[in-house]
Amino acid sequence: MKFHKSGTCSLLLACLVAWTGMTGADALADERLNGFLKRAVDRAQPRTVKIFGASVGRVEGYGTGIMVSDDGMILTGNGVFLNGFNTRVTLHNGRTYPARVVRRDTSLQLALLKIEAATPDYFELKKEPLAQKGDWVIAISNAFKVAERAEPLSVTLGVLSLETRLTSRRREREVIYDGELYLIDCITSNPGAAGGAVVTADGQLVGMIGKLIESRETNTRINYAVPARLLAAFVAGKTSPSTGEPSTQPKKGKPADLGIVLFSLGGRKSPAFVDRVKRGSAAQKAGIRSDDLVVTLSGRTISHAADYQAALAALSAGEKTVIVVKRRTQLKRFEIIADEK
Amino acid sequence: MRILFRLLAVFGLMLAGFENACAQTPRQDEGLDDAEMKIILAAEKARVAAIRKVIGSVVAIYSEIRGGGGSGVIFDPSGLVLTNHHVIASAGVSGWGGIADGNLYRWNLVGTDPGGDLAIIKLEGRDDFPCSPLGNSDRVRVGDWAIAMGNPFVLTEDQKPTVTLGIVSGIERYQPGAGGNQLVYGNCIQVDSSINPGNSGGPLFNMQGEIIGINGRGSFKSRGRVNVGLGYAISANQIKNFIPDLMATKLVEHGTLDVRFGQREGKVVCEAMYNEGVDIVDKGLELGDELLEFEGCRIRSNDHFTNLISMLPETWPANVVFKKPDGTVRNVNTRLVGLPYKLRPPRAPRPAPGKGKEKGKKKEPTPQQKRAQQRQQAMARVMTTEPGRIRDEKQNRQNCRIVLDHLARSILGSTGALQAKTLVIEDQLLDEQHKKRGSQKIWIAGDGRFRVNQEQEGDRRAFVFDGSQFWKISGDERPVKLDLLKARLTPEIVQVFSYSNLLLEEPYQLFGKLLIDGGDKSRKKPAFRLKTIDEENDWFYLWATLFNDRGEFDIRLSKASADLDADGTSGGVLFGQWQQVSGVRFPVRRDFFRGLDESVTGSAVAEKIQLIEGIRASQFEISASGEASDEIP
């Protein structure tokens, strides 16, 4: 790791100068004193963008992204804010362009966007790791939408703590991210930070701030970055080396149907009571009856009819999933294989 | 302590919440060699030394009942402390402050600025409090180290502050206020140093140990009031603009041009005007005019302008450059007007539920409740005083004394070098084109008396101050007594009197009562404006800049005029190029100026300054008959 070593040494030297050269307040001394991150910041700022999209309920309608090609390819964290009609990307110079979603990955929670603009400043996605445990890293993001238009993004300093995986247990500890990640010790788990750049003290891309992961048990969040090599694989459309699964090209098959007709009281907020079950449908085979109240589908909580429709839309035909209903005073769990719509 | 435990619990859960399977690192840790270790240890040592230098100036602020908690920092040995408005808004107008020496000192509120969330309190009991200098926050850059100090979660038991290290995450940030023009953070510094509740009012230091900001808020949202890596500090340069008004014990308002600008096709254009009689409109600004510069800064965007103006107090003399649609460019100076605070009406106390009126018996408040009520009332009085007015004249006079002591020290050091001596200055007199017009010789006695002999194009004039009276002698004519009003309108007298009177115990008393009138600008720097008022309601103004180039609180005489904006008949005098001669500092250059923009009409520049032993009393005496008792040497 030749690069790594030289990087650390120059950083240490910079620190030394910083701490001993405190004689005067002249510009040169100040440069030596504080300038050690300047290069990284100057390099990373023009390669990182603000993304504005749809805000849904309490979910923020903004995020951060990194430019990964010279023709307007931008990586960011997957999220509902990209679902709207009007997703916009603002470059460091304040110029704003409409963006479209090229591809998403639900196992690493990534999204690839495209804007119709040349972006000569971009991050190279290196396959070999540029930093290891204990190295300084700098995270650049638009957490809390502090910056707008041409204003520079927020910069925070931390240390790369560990490369690891998070274990996930169904229904107890659900982790939306399935892959290796870098834990970092600066706080990046903030609204709008996902998609931000995590760079070395030389401004080389180590990874991208991942989508927010919050523990349901403890209500705590972790600060992590998606390693650059996983980003590279996603951008190339190749098999994700972390998951071993086929690539996360929109794998959606044909739209699914369960054969459940919900009781309609009008309005989106009506509870998801089963009005009737279509004959010969998946629901009938599974044992769903009318007057059951749908409680969860595919692990998603269904509090009203709209939730059910959303959960159904995420299924594809032939997929096996679990539906939980309330029948009188009992919760009943059924396995169900979705029909084709 | 409970909070501490809760915090520990959060960290513990964080570890427990996400089990991680440790991935195999692809290589062995290389470790550090001796040279690298040395570097790290040296860096650590230097950092500890830097922190040790300033940690004594950090204050833990408590209310009267030693409850609550905020932070502050001392910027003058007399005990003047910078903190947040929102800290004193809950702590009250007095209380206790602890510093790292372990002692608690009483404090009193001096002045407050709800608009910028800044306040000054004064610790009592010492005149040698440890203090820290204010840095130049315009030089702060993203990526710079930033040390925050204060008393988060009221952790300290021995009054030693908590230190957190981070970097500057953003500069020129704008964080909107709480409504009613209050608590706006304009042009502020964003840091990832941990800022938690209790850090409010505490200093943000750079690595030279200079205060670059006052920490006041963080991005707190759904996660409760704990640090999420985004803290905001009021920039030191904004603070410098407000210190004089705060020391004048005012409720300070922020300034506005009283017109609205908006962004159109990349230009910042005047969009709306609200009121009649707006100064800048009288000076030619019209709807559709493009804003080019404000206070010497090229305006990049409307946000940029909002940031700049949010750093300035009311009555600040602002320089504005704008362009007319026909292409002509205007450069005007105007004093900003105040943005009024909208105060929320006090909430009516709700009757306790269940306990109806039927009993009709009102419970007598406990002594503690009474005191709490009194505190709230005292604070409410502060918030409802007329903005911009001196609230506490006694406090103002005490602060004025601090300013005068600084001014005297700036001239004499601590040596008293002018005692029983005379300062002799030989000046060239220049006109506005810097051409020589004549010469003058000044004698300043250590007891405050002075004499000016001028020679211009063959005319000889002399001005004498004999300790109680001013005299003017034209050529060989008999001396004429000048009354006080005439004297302060005479630039030849003002150029010396403003300086020489600082040698006295009670300077400028001749002109009446002296107070800090407020903040102002002189030579593009924030300045105190001192004002004397006599029985006839005539006044005289002196300006003094606050900080030297090193950021130390070092007050220097900057200008003097009998007229607020020096646009009357007399103009005023600017003092500059201070030079030290035998332990005494004197302004080598004195410029005579006019108007708010301080345009120079002539100058006196010293060619020779010397300090001579003794005072030749006869030089400064005018005999009873009005004859000069000594020939002009």
Q: Tell me, what's the pLDDT at B14?
A: 34
Q: Is residue B86 annotated as part of the catalytic site, yes or no? A: yes
In the predicted structure, residue B23 carries a pLDDT above the cut 50: no
Contact of B164 with chain A, judged by CB distance below 8 Å, is answered with: no
Cα distance between residue B595 and residue A187, in whole Å:
52
Distance CA A149, CA B269 (A): 18
Report the range of poorest mean pLDDT among A231-235, B153-157, B292-296.
B153-157
According to the model, what pLDDT value does residue B627 have?
52
Residues 365-394 of B with CB under 8 A from A: none
Average pLDDT of the residues in A293-315? 86
* pLDDT of B248 over the 90 cut: yes
For residue B470, count CB atoms less than 10 angstroms from its CB and return exposed for 0-12, middle for 13-18, buried for 19 or more: buried
The tens digit of pLDDT for each residue in A39-55 reads: 889 999 999 999 999 88
Confidence of residue B25 (pLDDT cuts 50, 70, 90): very low
> How crowded is the C-beta side of A210, counted as CA atoms within 13 Å?
28
Angle at B623 (CA atoms; ends B621, B629), nearest 5 degrees: 65
Residues of B within 8 A of A187 (CB-CB) are 192, 227-229
Q: Check residue A247 and give its pLDDT.
A: 37
Residue A248: band (very low, low, confident or very high) from pLDDT cuts 50, 70, 90: very low
Range of weakest confidence among A32-46, A111-125, B457-471: A32-46
Strands ordered across the beta sheet of A330-337: A300-301, A293-297, A320-327, A330-337
Query: Which residues of chain A neighbour B143 with C-beta distances below 8 Å?
Result: 34-38, 40-41, 138, 155
Task: Kindly tell me if the per-residue pLDDT of B19 is higher than 70.
Answer: no
pLDDT of amino acid A217: 74
Q: Which of residues 7-26 of B touch A (CB under 8 A)?
A: 10, 13-14, 16-23, 25-26
Is the per-residue pLDDT at A72 higher than 50? yes
Pick among B40, B145, B169, B210 to test the A interface (most A CBs inside 10 A): B169
- The single residue of B71, B76, B86, B289 carrying the catalytic annotation is B86
- Please indicate whether residue A95 or residue A1 has the higher confidence score (pLDDT): A95
What's the pLDDT score for residue A229?
Answer: 92
Distance CA B93, CA B101 (A): 24
Interface test with A, best of B33, B47, B142 (most A CBs within 10 A): B142
Which residues does chain B have within 8 Å of residue A62's beta carbon, measured at their own beta carbons?
Answer: none
What are the tens digits of pLDDT across the range B401-429?
999 999 998 888 766 667 788 999 999 99
Q: B469-528: per-residue pLDDT in tens?
A: 999 998 888 889 999 889 989 999 999 999 999 988 889 988 999 999 999 999 889 999
Percent of chain B with pLDDT over 70: 89
| Residue A245, pLDDT above cutoff 80 | no
Mean pLDDT of B150-175: 92
Arithmetic mean of pLDDT, B586-603? 92
Residue B609 has pLDDT above 90, yes or no: yes
Higher-confidence residue: B189 or B504?
B189
Determine the residue of chain A that is closest to B176 in CA distance: A146
- Is A34's CB within 8 Å of B141's CB? yes
Q: What is the mean pLDDT of residues B195-218?
A: 93
Confidence of residue B54 (pLDDT cuts 50, 70, 90): very high
Percentage of chain A surpassing pLDDT 90?
Answer: 35
Mutate to test the interface with A, among B20, B24, B221, B552 (most CBs of A within 10 A): B20
Tokens representing A246 are 């086929």
Whole-Å CA distances, A39 to A3, A43, A69, A188, A201: 16, 6, 21, 21, 8
Portion 221-260 of B in contact with A at CB < 8 A: 221-222, 227-230
For B547-589, write each residue's pLDDT tens digit: 887 777 889 999 999 988 877 677 899 999 999 888 889 999 9
- A6-31: per-residue pLDDT in tens? 333 333 333 333 333 333 444 544 55
Q: What is the pLDDT of residue B415?
A: 62
CA-based R_g, chain A, Å = 24
pLDDT at B633: 42
From chain A, pick out residues whose CB is under 8 angstroms from the CB of B173.
Answer: 146, 151
pLDDT band of residue B50 (cuts 50, 70, 90) is: confident
Is the pLDDT assigned to residue B605 strictly greater than 80?
Answer: yes
Q: Do A166 and B17 touch (CB under 8 A)?
A: no
Range among B21-30, B80-89, B529-538 with highest mean pLDDT value = B80-89
Q: Taking residues B130-144, report their average pLDDT.
A: 92
Where do the DSSP E strands lie in A13-92?
A: 48-52, 62-67, 73-77, 87-90
Going by C-alpha positions, the residue among B291, B266, B146 that lies closest to residue A150 is: B266
What is the tens place of the pLDDT at every residue in B264-316?
888 999 999 988 889 999 999 999 999 999 999 999 999 999 999 999 999 99
Determine the pLDDT at residue A148.
86
Residues in B touching A3 (Cβ below 8 Å): none
Average pLDDT estimate for B36-55: 88
Residue A23's pLDDT is: 35
Residue of A nearest to B38 (CA): A16
Of B520, B397, B516, B553, the C-alpha closest to B81 is B553
Average pLDDT over residues A75-86: 88
Please report the pLDDT score of residue A196 as a whole number.
96
Task: Write down the ipTM of this complex.
Answer: 0.77
For residue B35, the model assigns a pLDDT of: 86
A321, burial (CB in 10 Å: exposed 0-12, middle 13-18, buried 19+): buried
Q: In the predicted model, what is the mean pLDDT of residues A166-178?
A: 72
pLDDT at B1: 36
* Active-site residue, B117 included: yes
Q: Does B498 touch chain A (CB under 8 A)?
A: no
Whether the per-residue pLDDT at B399 is higher than 80: the answer is yes
Distance CA A27, CA B420 (A): 43
Distance from C-alpha of B219 to C-alpha of B223, rounded to nearest angstrom: 10
pLDDT number for residue B351: 55
| pLDDT, greater one: B375 or A242 | B375
Among A257-266, B133-142, B379-388, the range scoring the smallest mean pLDDT is A257-266
pLDDT of B464 reads: 93
Exactly one of B200, B235, B410, B498 is catalytic; name it.
Answer: B200
Q: Calculate mean pLDDT across residues B582-605.
A: 91
Lowest mean pLDDT among A4-8, B259-263, B330-334, B573-577: A4-8
d(CA B251, CA B111): 6
Tell me which DSSP letter residue B18 carries.
Answer: S
Q: So what's the pLDDT on residue A249?
A: 39
Contact B303 A151 (CB under 8 A): yes
> What does pLDDT average to over chain A?
81
Work out the average pLDDT over B105-123: 96
